[in-house]
Amino acid sequence: MRKILFLMPLYLILSCDPQICSEERIANNSKKDLKITFVSSDTLFNNQIFIEKNSTITIGKIECSLGGVAVNYSVYDSIYLRNSINEILKVYKKNTTGKNIYNIDDYWSVRKTSKNHFEYTYEITNEDIEE
């Protein structure tokens, strides 16, 4: 009986859901270096990143959680794509029609890189930034 009482907590700990990690990446497959500005009414979330042409970067850090982490850009009011001389090439808002960075299900690719790790990638092409 004592063995069962000792093994029960060990079994419960080992049978818990493992942490699932996700990584958000943006691939700049255009012919231009880009600045991406994330704008939020809560200035703590405002951010700007630079992505050289034909390169991919990870946005933020890899997030891990029991049951997984959902990719969600709804904290941002808008997302601006600018060229190296600060001209606005594209503005994304939550209700922008067509290809939209906010629409994770339709425009982000998902790749399982290991048992508990997923990479979400949004690709920017020349067609996305040319009018």
- Domains of the chain, by residue range, sit at 17-129
| pLDDT at site 10 | 46
pLDDT of 2 > 60? The answer is no
CA distances from 62 to 11, 88, 90, 129 (A): 29, 29, 27, 27
- Average pLDDT for 80-93: 95
- Average pLDDT for 65-85: 87
pLDDT of 9 > 60? The answer is no
| pLDDT at site 3 | 53
Residue 34 has phi, psi (to 5 degrees) of -125, 145
| pLDDT at site 16 | 58
- Average pLDDT for 10-39: 82
Kindly report which listed range (13-17, 45-49, 65-69, 89-93) carries the lowest average pLDDT score: 13-17
Q: Would you say domain 17-129 falls under CATH 2.60.40?
A: yes
Q: What 3-state class would DSSP assign to 45?
A: helix
Kindly report which listed range (40-44, 64-68, 71-75, 105-109) carries the lowest average pLDDT score: 64-68
In the 8-state DSSP scheme, what is residue 31?
Answer: S
